[in-house]
Amino acid sequence: MSGFDTNLSQSPEGVDAVAAGLRAAGYLAGGSTALVSFLAAKLGKPVLVEGPAGVGKTELAKALSRYLGRRLVRLQCYEGLDEAKALYEWNYRKQLLRIQAGTAGEDGVRDETGWDDVQQDIFSEEFLLARPLMTAIASPEPVVLLIDEIDKTDQEFEAMLLELLSDFQISIPEMGRVEARTRPVVLLTSNNTRELTEALKRRCLYLWLDYPDLEHELEIVRLHCPELPETVARRLVEVVGMVRELDLRKPPSIAESIDWARALLLLGATDIDPATFRATMSVIVKHRADLDTVAERVGVKLERAASAA
């Protein structure tokens, strides 16, 4: 790990360098994405990334870790996530073993002088199970920390994050404070299902990711699926754009556009005609009710286009 160039990971040269680097890591950053990533690395501030599902929020963190040459530490949030699973936990089995090993050594006679040692011992780092946040803080190499779907957790958990995000330290009552050895790049993602607290937002830079516009998405599809003919790719993003305009339970994400491109490539499609669309539409639309809507609305449009041509 130490082979990575720390210069690179410490300070990217400029916004354009970040954009180029992310591109090399397989992520096409929009205008503000590269800028905010650059600021995050420069200022050492966490970034709160919001946007609809499937616009590449998590992917951004992965690409950043590849570009910066840092390890990605990921904390997936869910309802009921608590400190023991996010920060640290004492390895109580090992602690018990240690205590029992200590007493057994004295032929079953408890040795009072050994107690202090035991006490010191079992609350040391050896008995600590580091969970993602602790791992990120204590890592000797700088890392990229991804706190995914923060809006799924409870407000109490957010409050606990505040110490970490502003001072990059964690307090453990039995051991004292663990301070960050290196400053991680922190990304928090949210699908905006819940309003996050002001205190949390205050500590973060804010990045709103939306569905990309037509040209940008076309570029993304072509980056991931270069063998697909240009005309088909363009048609594909147009259709995906049309589908997103409809009222759907789950609009197609970028990942699904890419999947669809790959599917079309496998089928050797040269154009998206109504028949191909019907056959492959389940790649981008995944609710039964949505399928009906899309078949009705977009299918008709395609037919009209086909008959006009």
Partner 1 sequence: MTSAGGPEGRSYAPVPARGPGGFDGRLLELTEELRGEGLAVGTSELLDAFAALGEIGWTEQSQFKEALAATLAKSPEARHTFELVFERFFFRAVEAEAVRQGVGESVAGEAGQMLSLDLEELRRQIAAAVRDGSESAMRDLARLAIAAFAQGEGSGVLGVDVQRIRRALGLRSEPQPGLPADDPRRPGLPRERVRRFEQHLRRELERAMIQRTASLPPKRPLTELDRALPSGPIQDLAAVHRVVAQLRRRLATQGHERRGRRRHAHVDVRRTMRASLQTGGVPIDLRYRPRRPRRPEIFVVCDVSTSVTSASTFFLSVLHALHDSFRKLRSFVFIERISEVTEVFERERDFRAASEAISRDAGVADVSGYTDYGRVWTELLELIEDELHPRATVIVLGDARTNGRPPREDVFGAICARAGRTFWLNPEPRLYWDYGDSVISSYERHCTAFECWRTDQLEDFVKALTAPATA
What is the contact surface with partner 1 in residues (CB under 8 A)? 14-15, 31-32, 35-36, 38-39, 42-45, 48, 50, 80, 84, 89-90, 92, 95-96, 99, 122, 154, 166, 192-195, 198, 201-208, 245-247, 249, 288-289, 292-293
| Beta carbons within 8 Å of 234's beta carbon, 6+ residues apart | 218
55 token code pair: 């616009």
Q: Which is nearer to partner 1, 164 or 258 (CB)?
A: 164
The nearest distance, CB 175 to partner 1, in angstroms, is 14
Q: Which helix (H) or strand (E) covers residue 303, if one does?
A: helix 288-308
The nearest distance, CB 73 to partner 1, in angstroms, is 20
Q: What angle do CA 74, 75, 76 make, to 5 degrees?
A: 115
The nearest distance, CB 289 to partner 1, in angstroms, is 4
The nearest distance, CB 226 to partner 1, in angstroms, is 26
In this structure, the number of other CB atoms found within 10 A of the CB of residue 296 comes to: 11
Q: Which is nearer to partner 1, 111 or 195 (CB)?
A: 195
Q: Residues 22, 64: contact at Cβ < 8 Å? A: yes
What is the bridge-based pairing of β-strands 47-50 and 185-190?
parallel
The nearest distance, CB 284 to partner 1, in angstroms, is 17
107 token code pair: 């032929």
Q: Which is nearer to partner 1, 199 or 263 (CB)?
A: 199
Q: Which is nearer to partner 1, 4 or 90 (CB)?
A: 90
Q: Which is nearer to partner 1, 248 or 269 (CB)?
A: 248
How far apart are alpha carbons 165 and 161 in whole angstroms? 6
267 token code pair: 């089928």
